[in-house]
Amino acid sequence: MAEFEEMSACETTLEMLKKAKEDEQETAFDRVQQQKGCAFGEAGSCCRICNMGPCRINPKKPDESRGVCGANMDTIVARNFARMVAGGSSAHSDHGRAVAETLIMAAKGEAVDYQIKDRIKLLEVAADLDVEIGDREINDIALEVGERCMAMFGQQEGELAFAQRAPEKRKEIWRNLGVFPRGIDREVVELMHRTHMGVDQDYENILVGAARTALSDGWGGSMIGTELQDIMFETPVPIEAKIDLGVLEEDQVNIVVHGHEPILSEMIVLAANLPEMQEKAERVGAKGINLAGICCTANEILTRHGIPVAGNVLQQEMALLTGAVEAMIVDVQCIYQGIGQIANCIHTDIITTSPKAKMPYAKHVEFHEDRALEIAKDIVSSAIDNFKNRGRVAIPDKTEALIAGFNHEYINYMLGGKFRASYRPLNDAVIDGRIRGVVGVVGCNNPRVKHDDIHVRVTRELIANGCLVVMTGCAAQSVAKAGLMLPEVAREICPQGLWEVCEAVGIPPVLHCGSCVDNSRILIACTAMVHEGGLGDDICELPVAGCAPEWMSEKAISIGEYFVASGVYTVFGVSWPTLGSKNVTEYLFERYNDLFKNTWDFEADPEKMVGKILSHIDSKREALGISAKRERVLYDMAMRRELEI
Ligand code: SF4
Ligand code: MSK
């Protein structure tokens, strides 16, 4: 095992890596050894956007050469970075668009398997979009909300409606810089145009443009995804569940959903629970149907239904290697082509469902919202039929419990109560030093670093230093597997102030807030902290930070960029894609501060990453005049009433 131990901090992953070797199966952990990387690509200094190239500039001698067109290192690096933002933004936003389309179909009665489950959220969103409520039918309101959201994609002028939710000072910054996002598609298209051969060749201008596109993701596409998913599938509330490969069941039909859009996975949940499907499973000799998730679609059905999570992105191949998965149903994003190769050697069916995402060695069953449940039943039924084809099964005997499903609405409720919903107690706990700061730890796994290890080390260190941590994506799953998403962890690891807050409210010190599009929930929570008062007038003044210690996806770069442009200091690990250009890197790491009042940063070492985050948080506390630990004041009812006035 020794050679494997450097690859992952996750016990079940190590177990399956050993099995992969015995079975002569290849995984991402093997392929990363074969792919040694390229110095030009790593520095961001390789350009292949026109056929005069590819052109490469030596990062060690950046001034000695240029591309055939004359593009210098700064232009090439900035264009590559901006194109990552455009790619990430387009993925989140196309997800948001699919959700808006489904809401419209549901409201029109054309997708009868979907309903409006969270009416309160619908009315809140309607109010933000200036949709008339009055005594209109709920479906009429939903239709107009869906159409307004859909219009945000094609909007050509004006300011994106959801971005109006940001603090006033932040919006002024965006207006003054000319980066207030217009339409979502427009921003992505414009950034692709600007970074086309022979267009924008001023690296500063390219990087300001990248911020506008990223903002159209965070305050646009991703936020549409999150809000409309809550409306159709309910806003999550804390729920207990299990995580890790041990959630797969030897005596049941195992179906794993993987990808991102809950439009599909919600229907699989429904279909798998139908009595007719359970009976069919029993007829083939199984004790039932066991549904589990991988990656962000797992987070969606975890936070709404408590469906167990088999693992994060680097465990998709591990789940198949158990030999216990009858079907892995995928839609879009983060799906390794490698799963097809493994599935080709075992009984598992990989079922692709989106016309946008097909792959070799997979069955394609196209998903259509107007026949959603019928198609989901067909898929579940075919998985049951596949149970008889199982070979040898080896499921790791390990799961971990977690509490998931936190978000702005629940923070508001749990801290303030149903009738006095408020961020006041959170802000007060930050002001009096019981909570040192709030840190978002988000993003993917990347086999170039030890799987899960950096997430867990960074998060553990942050809570040990009094920070409340909010998490999404695969990062959240890493930390949940390590047992840090349980309330009792607070007293074991956190300083007294933080554990007292956690125990008083009954929350873990690490809050699972959902999937990648749900990073928009963190923007809303930061804005609510500003609006509550006492912590400055803008997000950049809050003692908060963001990090993605094991990132790999373009989506992570888009998320980081919209966090920074929204005023959140953000540190990435693994490696940084602009190091070929000193100017571009300085612009993002230093001069963004003049523009957005906070910056990007890079730090691969987990201890140093935590050090940077804590010193940033402490500097913000200092600037707010709250660096000295204050006396704890216990509010009585009279004081609470006074606060409400
Ligand atoms: Fe080379 Fe310029 Fe073409 Fe890029 S755009 S490949 S630097 S010639
Ligand atoms: S799924 S984007 S690996 S977090 Fe959202 Fe995980 Fe990263 Fe995909």
Whether the full predicted model's pTM is greater than 0.75, yes or no, is yes
Q: Is the pLDDT of residue 446 over 90?
A: yes
For 404-624, give the CATH class.
alpha beta
Closest atom of ligand 1 to CA, residue 48: 6
Ligand 1, atom 6, residue with closest C-alpha: 53
Q: What single-letter amino acid sits at 539?
A: I
pLDDT at 418: 55
Fold of 73-233: Substrate Binding Domain Of Dnak; Chain:A; Domain 2 (1.20.1270)
Q: Is the pLDDT of residue 412 over 90?
A: no
pLDDT at 371: 97
Q: What is the pLDDT of residues 473-497, one digit of tens each?
A: 999 999 999 999 999 999 999 999 9
Q: Is the pLDDT of residue 417 over 90?
A: no
Q: What is the pLDDT of residues 257-275, one digit of tens each?
A: 999 999 999 999 999 999 9
Q: Is the pLDDT of residue 632 over 80?
A: no
**Which ligand places an atom closest to the C-alpha of 47?**
1
Q: Is the pLDDT of residue 509 over 60?
A: yes
Which of 51, 68, 192, 203 for mutating ligand 1's site (highest number of atoms within 8 Å of CB)?
68
Q: Is the pLDDT of residue 579 over 60?
A: yes
Q: Is the pLDDT of residue 435 over 80?
A: yes
pLDDT at 419: 58
* 3-state class percentages of the chain: helix first, strand second, coil last, to nearest 5: 55, 10, 35
- Give residue 633's pLDDT band: very low, low, confident or very high (50, 70, 90): very low
**Could you check whether 73-233 and 404-624 share the same CATH topology?**
no
Give CA separation, 271 vs 215, 249, 307, in Å: 37, 18, 14
Q: What is the pLDDT of residues 132-152, one digit of tens each?
A: 999 999 999 999 999 999 999
Q: Cα of 551 to ligand 2 centre, how many Å? A: 8
Q: Which of 183, 2, 11, 3 lies closest to 97, judged by CA?
A: 183
Cα separation, 165 vs 227, whole angstroms = 13
- Give residue 629's pLDDT band: very low, low, confident or very high (50, 70, 90): low
Q: Is the pLDDT of residue 641 over 60?
A: no
Q: Is the pLDDT of residue 630 over 60?
A: no
Q: Is the pLDDT of residue 642 over 70?
A: no
Cα separation, 62 vs 630, whole angstroms = 51
The pLDDT mean for the chain works out to 95
Using an 8 Å Cβ cutoff, are 404 and 238 in contact?
Answer: yes
CATH number of 245-389: 3.40.50.2030
Which of 332, 516, 518 for mutating ligand 2's site (highest number of atoms within 8 Å of CB)?
516
Percent of the chain predicted with pLDDT > 90: 93
pLDDT at 3: 80
Tokens of 503: 């125990």
Which of 302, 334, 551 for mutating ligand 2's site (highest number of atoms within 8 Å of CB)?
334
Q: Cα of 550 to ligand 2 centre, how many Å? A: 10
Closest atom of ligand 2 to CA, residue 260: 5
* φ and ψ of 309, to 5 deg: -105, 125
- Give residue 456's pLDDT band: very low, low, confident or very high (50, 70, 90): very high
pLDDT at 421: 73
Residues 6 or more apart from 377 whose CB is under 8 A from it? 271, 274, 277
Ligand 2, atom 7, residue with closest C-alpha: 444
Tokens of 75: 């232009």
Task: Supply the DSSP symbol for 541.
Answer: G
**Which ligand places an atom closest to the C-alpha of 552?**
2
> Average pLDDT, stretch 232-252?
97
Q: Is the pLDDT of residue 1 over 60?
A: no
Task: Supply the DSSP symbol for 135.
Answer: T
Q: Cα of 630 to ligand 1 centre, how many Å? A: 58
**Which ligand places an atom closest to the C-alpha of 474?**
2
With a 6 A CB cut-off, is 295 part of the ligand 2 pocket?
yes
Q: Please report the DSSP string for 198-264 in residue order.
A: TS---HHHHHHHHHHHHHHIIIIIHHHHHHHHHHHH-----EEEEESGGGS-TTSEEEEEESS-HHH
Domain ranges of the chain: 2-56, 73-233, 245-389, 404-624
Using an 8 Å Cβ cutoff, are 584 and 505 in contact?
Answer: no
Q: What single-letter amino acid sits at 559?
A: I
- Give residue 413's pLDDT band: very low, low, confident or very high (50, 70, 90): confident
Q: Is the pLDDT of residue 70 over 50?
A: yes
Dihedral sign computed on CA atoms, order 302, 237, 443, 195: positive
Closest atom of ligand 2 to CA, residue 473: 4
Using an 8 Å Cβ cutoff, are 436 and 465 in contact?
Answer: yes
CA 528 to chain centre: 20
> Average pLDDT, stretch 307-324?
98
With a 6 A CB cut-off, is 55 part of the ligand 1 pocket?
yes
Q: Which of 230, 235, 301, 250 lies closest to 272, judged by CA?
A: 301
Which of 333, 448, 481 for mutating ligand 2's site (highest number of atoms within 8 Å of CB)?
333
Q: Is the pLDDT of residue 606 over 90?
A: yes
Q: Cα of 76 to ligand 1 centre, how many Å? A: 8
Task: Supply the DSSP symbol for 172.
Answer: H
Q: What is the pLDDT of residues 27-67, one digit of tens each?
A: 999 999 999 889 999 999 999 999 999 999 999 999 999 99
Q: Please report the DSSP string for 334-357 in residue order.
A: S--THHHHHHHHSSPEEEE-BTTB
Q: Is the pLDDT of residue 635 over 60?
A: no
Ligand 1, atom 2, residue with closest C-alpha: 69
